[in-house]
Structures are given as C-alpha cells and as structure tokens.
Structure 1
Amino acid sequence: MHASFPTLPFLRASRWRILTALISLCALAGCSRPAEPWRLTDVSGHLPDLNFSLTDDTGAHVTGRSFAGRATLVFFGYTHCPDVCPETMARLMQVLRQLGPDADAARVVFVSVDPARDTPALLHAYVRAFDDRRAVGLTGGDRAIEAVAQRYRVAYQMEKRDPNGAYEVTHSSAVYIFDRDGRARLLATDRDSIDAIAADLRRIIHAKDA
C-alpha cells in the first residue's frame, strides 16, 4: 500500500500563485483594453512640436507657445485662394460647431503662404469672417514662412502671373492638429469627414496627458 501525499492542495496553491502573478504582470504590461484607434492619420512622434515665430492678424508677434493650453488646428493657405482655402475653413468651422462648448479649447490657425499680399489687416478680415473668436491668421517674411512650411513638410509654389499681375499659389490642403502641449498628433485631409475630425479633436481636447 502506497503512502498518499497531499499533492492536490499544493498544486492548487501553486496554480493560484501563478495565476495571481500572471494577472500582476499583465497589469504592468498594459494588458487592458487597447485604446480606440484614431479616425484621422496619427502623426505622433513623426512631426515636430508647434514652434514658429510669426505675426498674427492684429500685428502682434506670436510663437507656438502663444497657443499653449489649446488644441491647435494649423492650415496653410492664402486669402486669394479661390476654392481649397475657403472650403477647408468652412469645414473647420463645421467641426467647431459640432464640438459645442469644447470648441473654446481649440484654435484654428491659418498660416499664409502668400505673405506678399496677405497683410495682417487682410488676414484679419479673412479669418474673422469665418470665426471672430477662435480663428487666427498668421503671416511673416518669406524666410519665416518657408521655415515653418519646411518644418511641417508643407509644399507650396507661386504660379505664373496673368497679364493683370494676379497669380495663384499651389499648396497642400492638410490640416495639422496639435494637442494642448503643442505636440503634433493628427493630420486631417479633405477625405476625412466632419464627424471624424470632430471626434478626434474632442479626444485631443480631453486627453489627460495633453
């Protein structure tokens, strides 16, 4: 007759300790439900923080830090733009309206790629026609605008003048979204819906680590 050993209670205790250890490790490794994916293009870590030195539409000197504490939507365009710029600005205004009270925590920043014509006064009239509280126009010298455009990989080019001296400026139409700490987070294009932009922007505004 073989002696019996209390193996079963020992194994049960061991399994319980192993299970407890695995749960602890899982918590440390972030095994919780994964974060909801962004609807827009996530550019976190791929573009530099909000940083520039330009002139706003009141003639005041501003930098990226001037917008600290707010989610900032940056769009490069020009006031004589016949289609893309007014369409994009109108879309962004729809986004702000959809945000409701949260819109006060956001700013739309319109950076001119036509500083020769876009004076602060002209920019002021242009952007404030869309929103007189949350839209800001920025301009500056040619080199200053070029530096900001290169920083965020924005392409633009002045086209050939017509007989009357008028010209258009070809430029990208993407909207860069920075969080409240000035970190580049998202990129919106004309293919993204108003709902998608508003949903992701609201997440940026309410993010605890922003």
Structure 2
Amino acid sequence: MSLRKGRSVIRSFTFHCCSPHFWSIIICGSEQALPAPLSTIYIPVVSFFRIFALIVASILAGCDTGKPSFQSTDITGADFGKAFSLTDHNGTQRALEDFRGRVVVIFFGFTHCPDVCPTTLAELAGAVKKLGPAGEKVQVLLVTIDPLRDTSELLAKYVTAFNPQFLGLRGSAEETARVAKEFKVIYQKVAGPRAENYAMDHSAGSYIFDQQGRLRLYVGYGRGADTFAHDIELLLKQP
C-alpha cells in the first residue's frame, strides 16, 4: 500500500477464504510514492482498517462449512463398524437397525473390569442425565469381550446399575471375535493367580452412531461426560 497526500491509495486486494491457508490479502501500490506524515494519514488509515476488519469478518462468516463442531473424533464415512448381531441381557437378538431413530453408543468391555469400563459407563450415564428428556433417544450398548464369565444375568445387573436403559450384549466366543474385528477392537485374556481370576486387556474407546445408523464418532477413553453429552446432542439435532 502506498500513501500519497495523506490518503491511502490501494490498487488491489484479494481474499482467499476457506482455503488451506485460511485467507490471504495482497495489497499493491506505487513504490515511488512517499508516505505522508503520520498526523496526516492517521484518520483515513484507521478508518480504512475498521472497514477492512468488517469486510473480513463478513467474508469469514460466509466461510462456515456447515460441519458440526464435535469434540471427539469425526469418523463419518468409515468403512467399518457397519453391523452386528448379538443377544442382549434380556435374551433378545439385537442388530444395529433395531435402534434406528436413536443415537447409539457402543463400548467393548467386561463386568470384571477394574477401571476403564466402569469409568466409561459412568461418563455415559452422566451424559445421558445432562441431556435431560433428549437422553431417552440415546442407547448405550456394552458388548462384553468376556462371554465366558459375563452371563446375561450378570450383564443385566452390571449395566443397569449405571442406567436402567443401558443394554449389555453378548455372543459366543466366535461371534464376539467377529464383531470386535468389525469394529477394529483388540482384546486378549491376561492370566491371573488362578485360572478363573484372569483379566482382559482391550481397546478402550467408544463408537457413536447417529439416528440413521451411520457410524459418526470415535470417543477416546477418559474424555468425560461433557464431551459425550456435547457430541450426542449435536447428533440428536441432525435429521
């Protein structure tokens, strides 16, 4: 920009909005002109930049891509986690399409888990409570990776202790392995002091489906009830 006789002479400026570089401005002017004294140019220059700031704000407001601001990881369009068929703790065979019209949260764990599983389920219970009446449109599913010990009765007592509407799902060892593979979940038995006192190492994240049954989000362990509530609420507002 060159300044001549106390006025700003702006030859051209271009905006590149919503680009990978956010936006850039190019101002071109005469290289031969000398700037006027500061007292002469102060008012018009300040006025220009005030107007300029308003223009930039307006352009950036139009750059909204319409994508929701999730706090967890957006995995929309993922080519895994598309289906499952397991038995819930009431003895009913369940598939993903059974929960159409609800936001579904799936977590893989086991009832003897000392920390990760109860923490995650407590966070989810807190999130559902925060959502108020909208929480009735949320279905939390715990898929046990320990079907040997996690009977339907034990699953029922465990998950409903966090929230009465939570469901535990189980299958045979083969069915469990197949569903875990579909969701890219890794788990393995860890030997304990006695054969029946083994532990289970497993992936600790949760998956969230929207009301149309599409996998949308991955929530890492320990993100808290607020993150779950925030992202679930955004999904509930979508058609």
TM-score > 0.5, shorter chain as reference: yes
Indicate how the Cα distance of structure 1 residues 206 and 49 shifts in structure 2: closer, same or farther if over 3 A, else same: farther
Checking the alignment, whether the CA contact within 8 Å between 1:68 and 1:182 is kept in structure 2 is yes
Could you say which residue in structure 2 is the equivalent of 1:161?
192
Show structure 1 runs of 5+ residues with no match.
1-30
Does 2:71 align with 1:71? no
Structure 2 matches for 1:172-187, cutoff 5 A?
Answer: 172-187=203-218
Query: Cα distance, 1:37 vs. partner?
Result: 2.6
- State the partner residue of 2:84: 52
2:202 corresponds to which residue?
171
Change in 2 beyond 3 A, CA 1:163/1:192: closer
* Aligned ranges 1:1-210 → 2 under 5 Å: 33-35=64-66, 36-133=68-165, 135-163=166-194, 165-208=196-239
Distance 1:70 1:50, change over 3 A: farther
Q: Secondary structure at the match of 2:181?
A: helix
Provide the C-alpha distance between the structure 1 equivalents of 2:211 and 2:81, rounded to a whole number of angstroms. Answer: 11
Offset, 1:153: 0.4
| Structure number with higher relative contact order (C-alpha < 8 Å, ≥ 6 residues apart) | 1
Q: 2-side partners of 1:150 and 1:49: how far apart?
A: 9
Instruction: Tell me the distance in 2 between the aligned counterparts of 1:47 and 1:38.
Output: 20
8 Å contact from structure 2 (residues 119, 222) kept in 1: no
Question: 1:99 offset after TM fit, Å?
Answer: 0.7
Q: Which moved more, 1:60-69 or 1:190-199?
A: 190-199
Cα distance between partner residues in 2 of 1:34 and 1:67: 29
Counterpart Cα distance in 2 of 1:80 and 1:122: 10
Cα deviation, residue 169, structure 1: 0.4
Shift of 1:195: 2.0
Deviates more, 1:156-165 or 1:95-104: 156-165
Structure 2 unmatched ranges of 5 or more: 1-61
TM-score normalised by structure 1 residue count: 0.80
Counterpart Cα distance in 1 of 2:160 and 2:194:
31
SS of equivalent residue, structure 1 residue 130? coil
TM-score by structure 2 length?
Answer: 0.70
Percent identity of paired positions between Structure 1 and Structure 2: 36
Give the Cα–Cα distance (whole angstroms) in 2 for the partners of residues 192 and 83 of structure 1: 14
SS of 2:169's equivalent in the other structure is strand
**Superposed displacement of residue 192, structure 1:** 2.2
Give the CA RMSD over aligned residues. Answer: 1.5
Q: 1:113 and 1:129 mapped to 2: Cα distance?
A: 19
Structure 1 letter corresponding to 2:203: S
- 1:48 is displaced (CA, Å) by 3.0
Task: Choose 1 or 2 for highest CA Rg.
Answer: 2
